Amino acid sequence: NEDEECMKAVLAARPRYVGMIGSRRRTNIVLARLRDAGFDEEKLRRVRAPIGLDIGAVSPEEVALSVLAEIISERRGGTGLPLSAWRRE
């Protein structure tokens, strides 16, 4: 499977951040197969799958926005919380 081969190559490179796009079902299948292939849980826990923040995305454009939001949050150390949350503190 192309997804599995790609993830094997990516994980072998030991990146700081890995995201995998796909449905929950599909990403769970790929992660289970990687586990069966001998990848340890520590490496697999680092994979963000499915990638993206939960913004209720439906369209491809919205999914792309949710993926970019997660990448930016990870890169900049964001929380993913609404900016209005500061009023509640």
pLDDT digits (tens, 9 = 90+) for 14-56: 998 999 999 999 999 999 999 999 999 998 999 999 999 999 9
Percent of the chain with pLDDT over 90: 78
Domain spans of the chain? 2-77
pLDDT digits (tens, 9 = 90+) for 64-83: 999 999 999 999 999 988 88
Cis peptide before 50 (omega within 30 of 0): yes
Specify burial of residue 52 (Cβ count, 10 A radius: 0-12, 13-18, 19+).
buried
CATH H-level, domain 2-77: superfamily: NAD(P)-binding Rossmann-like Domain (3.40.50.720)
Per-residue pLDDT band for 85 (boundaries 50, 70, 90) equals confident
